[in-house]
Amino acid sequence: GQNIDQPTEMTATEGAIVQINCTYQTSGFNGLFWYQQHAGEAPTFLSYNVLDGLEEKGRFSSFLSRSKGYSYLLLKELQMKDSASYLCAVIKAAGNKLTFGGGTRVLVKP
């Protein structure tokens, strides 16, 4: 099976930085995704990490440590529109099935 843990909720101020941690336990790991999901909408792809290290994409960065079973999503220069749930998801080599964590709801305050 797979266990994917992330905090339930985080609050941050507009313009600040927030780091969302995700830990996972899985066999046959083949990559980790971060998705953003606004209330009542479908998840949208943010990032994909399969090798250790940091991937930077504009205001969003994602980090992976395979040996530690750990990832984080870093959101910089927070904007009000960044208020959403952020889902960590792990994919296994067999079957290409994506398993999601429970999501972290980020609330950005003025």
Partner 1 sequence: DAMVIQNPRYQVTQFGKPVTLSCSQTLNHNVMYWYQQKSSQAPKLLFHYYDKDFNNEADTPDNFQSRRPNTSFCFLDIRSPGLGDAAMYLCATSRDPGESEKLFFGSGTQLSVL
Q: Are 56 and 42 in contact (CB under 8 A)?
A: no
The answer to whether 68 contacts partner 1 (rule: CB under 8 A) is no
d(CA 35, CA 85): 8
The answer to whether 27 contacts partner 1 (rule: CB under 8 A) is no
Among 2, 48, 66, 70, binds partner 1 (CB under 8 A): 48
The answer to whether 51 contacts partner 1 (rule: CB under 8 A) is no
Among 50, 54, 80, 107, binds partner 1 (CB under 8 A): 50
CB of 56 to partner 1, least distance (A): 17
**Other CB atoms within 10 A of residue 99 CB:** 15
The answer to whether 97 contacts partner 1 (rule: CB under 8 A) is yes
**Other CB atoms within 10 A of residue 92 CB:** 16
Interface residues toward partner 1, by CB under 8 A? 4, 30-31, 33, 40-45, 48, 50, 87, 91, 93, 95-103, 105
